Every structure is written in structure tokens, then in C-alpha cells.
Structure 1
Amino acid sequence: MSSFDVVVIGSGPGGYVAAIRCAQLGFSTAIIEKYSTLGGTCLNVGCIPSKALLDSSHHYHDATSHFAEHGIEISGEIKFNIDQMIARKGTVVDQNTSGIKYLMDKNKITVFEGVGSFEDATHIKVAKNDGASEILEAKYTIIATGSKPSSLPFISIDKERIITSTEALKLKEVPKHLIIIGGGVIGLELGQVYLRLGAQVSVVEYLDRIIPGMDGGLSKELTKVLKKQGMKFYTSHKVKSVTRNGDNVQVQADNAKGETVTLDGDYALVAVGRRPYTDGLAAEKAGVKVTERGQIEVNDYLQTTVSNIYAIGDVIKGAMLAHKAEEEGVFVAETLAGQKPHIDYNLIPGVVYTWPEVAAVGKTEEQLKEAGVTYKTGSFPFKALGRSRASGDTDGFVKILADAKTDEVLGIHMIGARTADLIAEAVTAMEFKASAEDIARMSHAHPTYAEAVKEAALGATENRSLHI
């Protein structure tokens, strides 16, 4: 029986980062992964492959729609090769997962391939794919088993025509009509991939707007832009049936008036969110409590109901984001080492990797209104920015919300080119309790997209925007 200071169950961003930080801090560390590649959902069937397809389809869209205005002439028909796009995505995934394996070796982390399950609070069984098993003894255990796609009770996912995001990343053809159930991040990103390649895309959302967890202004702008690109939306529609007949999939949904709308397509992507994944973990054997929502219960130190067992990432409460899981992995490792780490969950940014990109951190206007906070706003459109005009990426804006009395920035919300990268400036500013005037007085290089952040801050500071 092998013994370790720390055993991590799950090798996604939270798990492998936790393992690396534990090893850096001098703990003997092992990680258990049931699949043959490391990296979890994010690297294998989530963040990384979806961005690879988004970039490939973006290049094609630019070639067919925007190159001519830049004076780039391509003779003959421009074609895409879906098989090559999928193959390139696979190469990108392989490079990233191989990189994680390298990091495990570099940090002398022992990797066990198989399903990890508790025998008791200090012993974990690894059921290997070849039928063999091994018991590990762990002083501390970190559960990082992640999440799986959710569905609706009446939907039968066949992984052929009625699919999840996993299958959507490896289709052999471009759908004629892709019906997406759910107007959140996953559905919109994958929807835009296939929209660019010629698919008709319809999004059915139960709530009254897409990306409902983000600021209403972002939702409104993204809806406008995606509609302009050809995506169709059915918000405030409750799906009541999804049926397949051969290559045809039919989705029926009731609108706010109780009228039934019928959509016929060749693929239906179920993108209604994700659920914590604890299948096969046998948490009860260790005494670890799982909530009614399937989440592992933790305290402020990410400690479960068993003192030597911790849990991080999608399997606990909070946003299901890879970077949240990473921060929690580091937090637990440093806590075990006797350090005093902290995480400000209000400053975990959210990003949608459509084009234009959407990014936000802090409170939304809706949240501030509900809390009764008096605030002021500054907003700046990208169309007024020289850099945006030069690139042709003029959709979107940056909005800053600041406390009306103290001027402290409470939230920054942006939609536009490269906002997935720009949001880091917002997080940095808010981490150090910046006021809107602090940001407004910082020099921003010209011409850059980042100038929109400065201009929005100027707008929140006595309406001093210079370029509108």
C-alpha cells in the first residue's frame, strides 16, 4: 500500500493545480484520474477544444466576410474542412494534456489511472481500467472530480442527434439546423462555431434573456450582435419535448403565452448547465456529506464534513469555472501548509468566448439595485475607439459601476474584441480597491482596446469621457 501526504482525486484544472502546489510546498502527492489523459473536462472536452474550434471557425468567417475590405483577395471558392478543424482541435488538446503530464513528472507527482473511491477517511481505492485495484493511504485528500453536462428529465440524450457539448466538439458534419437548448455560455459558444460554418442555429432559453447570470446590458448587446450574425432566439420558452425520428430532431417549447412552438432540426444540443460529478466516489464511506443538489458540502476553508478531506471546483458551490477551481486548489494546498491564503469570490471573472467576447467581474446593475446600493455608471462604446475602427471590431462597450459616495469600483462589464484579456485589468483594479478615478488617471497605451476601460472610468467620474 502506497502512502502520501496528499491524494488528489481528479486531474482537471483544480486538481492538477492543487497537486502541483502541494508538491511545491513539500508534500508527497498523488493524483488519481480515471481517463487515460490528464486535464479533466476543461482540457479534453471543454475550455480548450471549444476555443480551438472557435478560433478555426473565426478564421474561416473572416476569410469569407472580412478579408476583402482589408484588401485581401482570395481567388476561387473559400472552403472549410470540418475534419481538419476537428483534427487540429485534437492536436491542441494533445499538446495541452501532454503538458500536464510533463508537469506531473517535473513536480514528482505520482499519477494513478483509474477510478478513485473512498474506503474510509484515510484510504482510497483505485480501480484500474485493467480490472486491478490498489489502495492508497492519504493524510489529506482533495476531491476535484468536477462536473458533467446536465439534462432535463424528459430528454433522452443519444449522443448522435440529441447531444451534449462533448459530442458537439467532434461532429463529422456541419448541422443544417442546430437547435440549442439553453442560452448560456456553452451553447452560445458552440452555436457560433457552427453558425459561422453555415448552420442555421436556434437557441431556446427558459429565462427572458441569454447569459442570464451576467449584467443585463451584456445580454442585450450580445443578443443584438448574434441576431445580426444570423442566430435565432426563443427566450421565455419552456422546452416540453425533444424527439428524434431518424435524422430529424423536433423540439417543442411553450412561450410565455402558453403557445407551443415547434422547431425541426437535424441536431439538438442540450446545454442547460452542468452538475457536480461524484459518481463512484463513495463519499459516504468516508463520512463526507453531499447536499441535495449533489454538491459536496464545505466550509470557508473548503474542508468537508471530514477534517482531513477537502473539495474544490465544480463539485462544490459556486460558479463552475476552471480558474475558480485553480484558485481553490492553491488555497487548499497553502492552507494545509499552514499559510493564510484568501479567495475573493466576488473577483472571479466570468467570460463568454463568442465574438465579440463577453467578460465581467464584480456586481451587476441588477444585483446593486436589489441590494439597494447607490451607484453611478460610466460606459464607452468600442465603435468610438480608434483601435476598434482600425480592426473593424466595433461592436460592444465597457461599463463601469462605482459606488456613488466612495467612487470604489463595484463591477466592470464588457463586450467586445479581446475583452477576455481586458477583464484582467478590471480584476487587478478591484483587487486593490481602485476607484473609478484611479483607473481614469492611469495611462493606457494608444491605440488599444484597453482605452475603452479608461474612457468608461472617465465616464463614471463626473461624466468626463473624452472621446464621446
Structure 2
Amino acid sequence: MADTYDLVVIGSGPGGYVCAIKAAQLGLKVACVEKRKTYGGTCLNVGCIPSKALLYASEAFAEAGHSFAEMGIEVEPKLNLAKMMSHKDKTVKANVDGIAYLFKKNKITGIIGTGRIKAAGAVEVTKDDGSTETLSTKAICIATGSEVAGIPGVELSFDAATIVSSDEAIALPKVPERMVVVGGGVIGLELGSVWARLGAKVTVVEFLDKILGPMDQEISTAFQKLLVKQGLEFKLGAKVTGVEKSDAGAKVTFEPVKGGEAETVEADVVLVATGRRPHTDGLGLDEAGVRRDERGRVEIDGHFKTSVDGIYAIGDVVKGAMLAHKAEDEGVALAEILAGQAGHVNYEAIPSVVYTAPEVASVGRTEEELKKAGVEYSVGKFPFMANGRARAMLKTDGFVKVLADKKTDRVLGVHILGADAGDMIAEAALLMEFGGASEDLARTSHAHPTLSEAVREAAFAAFAKPIHI
């Protein structure tokens, strides 16, 4: 065996590469194993980063064709899809190259190959040429992320062109005339909105009776209405029973969850976006004695340790929301723990964002969760229609909603539907991290005119009254 590492990380997605970098910064000798040709995992290569590049570009295209004229900018936008895809690819390359640079800067040994745990302290890496190398290490971090889940009970034949997953939906060669999106969650709505803005007729088929499953109901309902105005069609409470190719492209068959006649919708492209599952197969976990739960997730304790000493797990392979920044936080915390420090993650203050137009962002509890838990709370809301900056930007859709404990005024949840919601939610996450009250937020000066003033006004509404309505 070669030199012994302090830590070998399997997977270089946001959780893995952040864990590796932080551990190296704390003085540990680190190696990171990645099966792709480039670092960054699903997020940087085919997920978060490329989809956001397309979301931004398609939103700019839609704005140029609609709202620009109202501001006195008269243009007739023409779509060059190949160039838009090139923009996406350049964005991806810049990010994955950046991770390679950070590995070099922090003296991390990056290894391209498929990692498998032989036992505690030993990771076998199989290279593309079939050769193997065994890494000796004091600690192993499983950070292999997640993969497309598919549709329960439905046999799928992905072909990268007609029946596709999110991996292929970010690289379609042309705009489909009709697209069916199976799944009304974050991935389906983001990519569905991209192709809708570029000209596709998009139909979303969702098993639940609402979009964005765990999202606050009021936000979900308002958001769906805005998407309908943008041209998306929804089939809610619908169970998909078949997805197959047809002469016209593909067809999706579904039936009402509560009973009724089955319906079939034809499309040029069917995007299956029904969520993701932990990627834990083929890692040698069972042989090594690492326990998994009924959903295939690696079981861990409060310090990310698995059932085997010296083996840890973070990110999408463990319980909790499948979010890149949640994985990053866990990566930092684990690195600190391995270095003898007190790493910790506050799961009550991890935000979630849907990068559509407008954006949807939330942190903390929803009204439904508070009601179920029997918590008495106050609600403060403020519409962007009453915000001066939003009016100037022609981005008045949506509102901010603050939920605070009725007795202590401590903020328990914040939900934003509106432009730049993903950036504004950071203020709420910081407030909640320090156990702040709605009054604390309302009495904090906000620059004028800014969209963030709507957050302040909603906080005012939670403990007193808003100023501008």
C-alpha cells in the first residue's frame, strides 16, 4: 500500500470536495476519489450549475421578448440554442476546473476512478483502464451523492432524446414543441420552465395534489398560478402508469389518484423528474458492515459516523434534504470533527430555493408544519407589488411571509415568492441561526430602494404592522 491518508473522500460533489478542502486546510492529508472525468459531481457537471445557466439565459430571452418593450427597449430576440448551450458548457467548465485548482492549491490528491470500500481504512480505486489501486486511510467519507429515481412501478427506457432525465434535459438539441414533465418538484419545474420560456408547450404531471411537495401551501398555490400564466399546464393528483415511445415521440399515461378515467398525453420529449435516490450501490457497504435504511440511505449518528468505526457519510446518501449546500455544511462539520474540533450543522436553518422566474425560497417551518406540531404562531406578509424597487424592475409578482412564535416572537420560518428570493432568503437563515425575532429583523435598517425591504416589511407585519400597506 502507498502512504496512509488521514482521510479519503469518495465523491467530489459539493459535499465531498468541500469536506476534502476543509480537512486539508485543517492539516489533514487528504485524497478524493471521483468516477467522472471531472470533479464537482452531479451538481457542477449536470445539475445545479448547468441548469442555472440555462434558467438565467432563458429568463433573459423571455424578458427581452416581453418586458423590455415596456421599459422602452425595443428588440426582437432570436434564439440561438447552440450558443445558449455553449454558455452553459463554459459555465460548467469554469466551475469544474476551479475545483481541480482548489485541490492542487490545498495539496489534495485527486484520483479519477471508481471507489469501493474494502474495509475500514482501505479504499480500492478502479481506473478506466481496469487497473486498481488501494488507498490506506485513517478515515473514509462516503459522499457519492444521488441518482435519478425513476417512477415506482413503471418501466422506463431512457434514450437521452425522447424519454430523458434531468441529465439529458439540460442538453436537448432543439426546443421540443411539446414536453411532458413527470414530477412537480424543484427539478421538474426548473427545467420545465426553461423549455417553456424557449417555446415548448409544457405539461406537468404530479402525483400529489400540489406542486413542490413540502413547500408552504400558500406559497405553492400562488406559485402555480404564476406558472399557469406563463403557459405551463398542470395535471395534479395524477399517478403515472406508463411512459413509452410513440410515433409522435412519446406518450405518458396517468390516472387520477382518487379514482377516475385514465388519460394519455403525447409529447416530443418526456422529462422524468420524480426525485433522486441515494447512490450507495456498488460501494462495498454491505461487505464492510455499513448499515443502510429501507430507502438505501447510509445510517449515521450525530457526528456522521456510520455503523463502522472510521467510516463516515454526508450529503445525499444520508437522511435529510438532498441539497448541495446541506452537503457542504456537513462536509465542513465532518472535517472539523476529524480534526478534533466541534463541527455542527443546524438543520433548522438550511434554506431551499427553486430557481424559476419568479424564484421560490424558504427556510424553517411551514404553516402546515406549525399547525401539525400545535405551535402558536404569528404571520406577517408583504407583497412585492408594494415594493418600490420591484415596481421599477417590473417584478411585482409574489410576496414574503414570516412565521414567528406567538409568545417569544422568535422566527420559525420565512417563505419568499419573488424575484431574487434565493439571495434574500440568506438574511432569514442568518436571523434564524442566531435565534432572532421578527422584531430584530424589522428594526434592522435595510437600504432603500431594495427588494429586501419586502422582507423587513413582512417582519414588521409579524409583530406589529407593515409601514407601506
- With structure 2 as the length reference, what TM-score do the two structures score? 0.98
Say whether the 8 Å CA contact 2:248–2:266 is kept in structure 1. Answer: no
Task: Tell me by how many angstroms 1:247 deviates.
Answer: 4.4
Residues 20-419 of structure 1 correspond to what in structure 2 (within 5 A)? 20-74=21-75, 77-152=76-151, 153-156=153-156, 157-255=158-256, 256-419=258-421
Q: 2:292 and 2:430 mapped to 1: Cα distance?
A: 35
Residues 416-427 of structure 1 correspond to what in structure 2 (within 5 A)? 416-427=418-429
Q: 2:98 and 2:330 mapped to 1: Cα distance?
A: 21
SS for the counterpart of 2:77 is coil
Q: 2:138 and 2:451 mapped to 1: Cα distance?
A: 49
Q: 1:240 and 1:307 mapped to 2: Cα distance?
A: 44
Q: Which amino acid aligns with 1:325?
A: A
Task: Tell me by how many angstroms 1:285 deviates.
Answer: 2.6
Say whether the 8 Å CA contact 1:161–1:247 is kept in structure 2. Answer: no
Q: Which amino acid aligns with 1:98?
A: D
SS for the counterpart of 1:358 is strand
Between stretches 82-91 and 285-294, larger displacement belongs to 285-294
Deviation readout 1:309-331 (Å, 9 max, x if unpaired): 10000011100000000000011
SS for the counterpart of 1:7 is strand
Task: Tell me by how many angstroms 1:200 deviates.
Answer: 0.1
Deviation readout 1:211-232 (Å, 9 max, x if unpaired): 0111011101110100011100
Deviation readout 1:10-36 (Å, 9 max, x if unpaired): 000000000001101111000000111
Q: Which amino acid aligns with 2:238?
A: H
Say whether the 8 Å CA contact 2:241–2:253 is kept in structure 1. Answer: yes
Task: Tell me by how many angstroms 1:125 deviates.
Answer: 0.6
SS for the counterpart of 2:401 is strand
Say whether the 8 Å CA contact 2:335–2:343 is kept in structure 1. Answer: no
SS for the counterpart of 1:26 is coil
The aligned counterpart of 2:7 is 6
SS for the counterpart of 1:269 is strand
Count of residues in correspondence between the two structures: 465
Task: Tell me by how many angstroms 1:413 deviates.
Answer: 0.5
Deviation readout 1:338-397 (Å, 9 max, x if unpaired): 111211101110100001000000100000000000111000000010000000000000
Q: 1:246 and 1:419 mapped to 2: Cα distance?
A: 42
Task: Tell me by how many angstroms 1:58 deviates.
Answer: 0.9
Q: 2:291 and 2:146 mapped to 1: Cα distance?
A: 17
Q: 1:124 and 1:428 mapped to 2: Cα distance?
A: 38
Task: Tell me by how many angstroms 1:155 deviates.
Answer: 3.2
Between stretches 239-248 and 309-318, larger displacement belongs to 239-248
Say whether the 8 Å CA contact 2:305–2:313 is kept in structure 1. Answer: yes
Q: Which amino acid aligns with 1:196?
A: R
Say whether the 8 Å CA contact 1:121–1:287 is kept in structure 2. Answer: no
SS for the counterpart of 2:444 is coil
Say whether the 8 Å CA contact 2:243–2:251 is kept in structure 1. Answer: yes
Q: Which amino acid aligns with 1:36?
A: K
Say whether the 8 Å CA contact 1:295–1:315 is kept in structure 2. Answer: yes
Q: 2:350 and 2:155 mapped to 1: Cα distance?
A: 33
Q: 1:7 and 1:70 mapped to 2: Cα distance?
A: 54
Q: Which amino acid aligns with 2:155?
A: I
SS for the counterpart of 1:108 is coil
SS for the counterpart of 2:436 is coil
The one of 435, 438, 445 aligned to 1:436: 438
Deviation readout 1:431-465 (Å, 9 max, x if unpaired): 11111111111111110000001100111113x11
Q: 2:297 and 2:77 mapped to 1: Cα distance?
A: 48
SS for the counterpart of 2:174 is coil
Q: Which amino acid aligns with 1:124?
A: V
Say whether the 8 Å CA contact 1:375–1:401 is kept in structure 2. Answer: yes
SS for the counterpart of 1:112 is strand
Say whether the 8 Å CA contact 1:115–1:280 is kept in structure 2. Answer: no
Deviation readout 1:62-81 (Å, 9 max, x if unpaired): 1111111111122xx52101
RMSD: 0.9
Q: 1:145 and 1:166 mapped to 2: Cα distance?
A: 16
Q: Which runs of 4+ in 1 moved over 6 A?
A: none
Deviation readout 1:262-286 (Å, 9 max, x if unpaired): 2111111000000000232111232
SS for the counterpart of 1:139 is strand
Q: Which amino acid aligns with 1:79?
A: K
Q: Which amino acid aligns with 1:271?
A: A
Q: 1:57 and 1:155 mapped to 2: Cα distance?
A: 32
SS for the counterpart of 2:134 is strand
Between stretches 312-321 and 340-349, larger displacement belongs to 340-349
Say whether the 8 Å CA contact 1:43–1:97 is kept in structure 2. Answer: yes
Q: 2:210 and 2:261 mapped to 1: Cα distance?
A: 18
Q: Identity over the aligned pairs, expressed in percent?
A: 53
Q: 1:29 and 1:206 mapped to 2: Cα distance?
A: 44
Q: 1:100 and 1:332 mapped to 2: Cα distance?
A: 19
